[in-house]
Structure 1
Amino acid sequence: MRLIFMGTPAFAVPALDALVAAGHEIACVYTQPPRPAGRGQKLRPSPVQARAEALGLCLRCPVSLRDPEALAALAALGADAAVVVAYGLILPPAALAAPKRGCLNIHASLLPRWRGAAPIQRAIMAG
């Protein structure tokens, strides 16, 4: 399948690797833009960005997907589906509708109860 992958933290990297290993065509990888980190506050790419670059995949780091140009670029990829893993940005309805067969969300928690900024930690705290 021709897929779009959307993810940011290290948690998302194994899913990207699995899709590549399964032979899916990754049309493009979307991740959040590099953020300042460390003592020098130098821009640090996300783990997904680093992995996508290592794999030689098309990469986009939009600040938002609400921009008409960003949405048009997403739709122009002609993807069958999008796989979303801890992307960190809200996908507007137009982004969700862009892939022919929709979007699949892989989430780290037991939805819907343990969602939010720290789903794994909240599930552990709850026993």
Structure 2
Amino acid sequence: MRVVFAGTPSFAVPALQALMRSSVELVAVYTQPDRPAGRGRRISKSPVKLAARASGLPLRQPLRLDDDLDFLRSLAPDLFAVVAYGQILSAEILNLPRLGCINIHASLLPRWRGAAPIQRAIEAGDRISGITLMRMDQGLDTGDVLRQIETPISDIDSAATLGTRLADLGADA
């Protein structure tokens, strides 16, 4: 199966690594372009970029996925796997892979759609969180749920500890 992966932060790296260990053919990895970060506003490479480069995977960093549409078509992907990529995919991109696009989202949808679901769950005092594996559609985290895996949120959890646990659960999904 020919898979295109799209992700950016460290949360996405365990899922990318799980795909690398699987029998799928990773035909391309997409991540956000390098951007200034931190106090010094130094150009920063995404964790997904670093992982892809270290593994010799073909890497792409367009400003918008639609800017790379012809190249994506040439890959003839069967599936698009998306984890915290940071862009909403157009209908043309969503309809490109033969088997569609799936997303790993860091909440038990429909709760905490959109950005920063881990932080929002902690701030709200939620006692349970989890990941959702879903089919992507044109809405924001509104596609059909394929699988959900729960994990408790303890009093000592931070966004970092919960995020690490959810990233590992997502990789196992």
When normalised by structure 1's length, the TM-score is 0.92
Deviations, residues 63-103 of structure 1 (Å, cap 9, x unaligned) = 01233xx1111121111101000000110001111111100
| Structure 1 unaligned residues grouped into runs of 5+ | none
Larger CA deviation: 90-99 vs 111-120? 111-120
Quote the residue 1:120 is aligned against.
118
Task: For residue 24 of structure 1, report the CA deviation from its aligned partner.
Answer: 1.4
Task: For residue 26 of structure 1, report the CA deviation from its aligned partner.
Answer: 0.4
When normalised by structure 2's length, the TM-score is 0.69
Calculate the aligned-residue CA RMSD, in Å: 1.2
Quote the residue 2:86 is aligned against.
88
Secondary structure at the residue paired with 1:19? helix
1:66 is aligned with what amino acid?
A: D
Hey, what's the Cα distance between the residues in 2 that align with 1:38 and 1:114? 27
Does residue 46 of structure 2 align to residue 50 of structure 1? no
Quote the residue 1:13 is aligned against.
13
Give 1 or 2 for the bigger CA radius of gyration. 2
2:2 is aligned with what amino acid?
A: R
Deviations, residues 3-30 of structure 1 (Å, cap 9, x unaligned) = 0000000000000000110121100000
- Percent same amino acid at aligned positions? 59
Secondary structure at the residue paired with 2:29? strand
Task: Map 1:37-76; keep pairs closer than 5 Å.
Answer: 37-67=37-67, 70-76=68-74
Matched residue count:
125
Hey, what's the Cα distance between the residues in 2 that align with 1:119 and 1:65? 23
Hey, what's the Cα distance between the residues in 1 that align with 2:43 and 2:71? 25
Task: For residue 42 of structure 1, report the CA deviation from its aligned partner.
Answer: 2.2
| Structure 2 unaligned residues grouped into runs of 5+ | 127-173
Task: Map 1:89-104; keep pairs closer than 5 Å.
Answer: 89-104=87-102
Task: Name the CA shift for 1:125/1:41 in 2 (closer, same or farther; >3 Å).
Answer: closer
